[in-house]
Amino acid sequence: MSPDCFDWSAHGDPAGLDRLAGTVDEVVLQIYQGRHVIPGYAGYLSRLGAMKVPFRIGLLQGGEWRAPPGLETNPKFRGYVVFLRNAAG
């Protein structure tokens, strides 16, 4: 798997992200790859409850999105980043 398409939700070590706490201000966890929402993104987001580093959710313009229960009250949740799609592509 090339580094530019690494899917942390499927292959990543949650402790690896936690080690970023204190080093970065926050991370953005996108729920899409390329121009498509990751199938089963709800499972991806279920891992967020124990995150130690502040995070935002990266959404795809026009993509499917339903916030999981408890996201808005998670003390590490900082909001959303919407990635815009080029209409020509």
Query: What is the C-alpha separation between 53 and 50, in angstroms, rounded?
Result: 9
Query: Which stretches of the chain are assigned E, i.e. beta strand?
Result: 27-30, 32-33, 36-37, 55-60, 77-83
Is residue 1 very low, low, confident or very high in pLDDT (cuts 50, 70, 90)? Answer: very low
Most confident segment among 6-10, 34-38, 68-72: 68-72
> What per-residue confidence (pLDDT) applies to 13?
63
> What per-residue confidence (pLDDT) applies to 2?
40
| Bigger pLDDT: 76 vs 35 | 76
Residue range 51-79: mean pLDDT, rounded: 88
pLDDT reading at 12 higher than 60: no
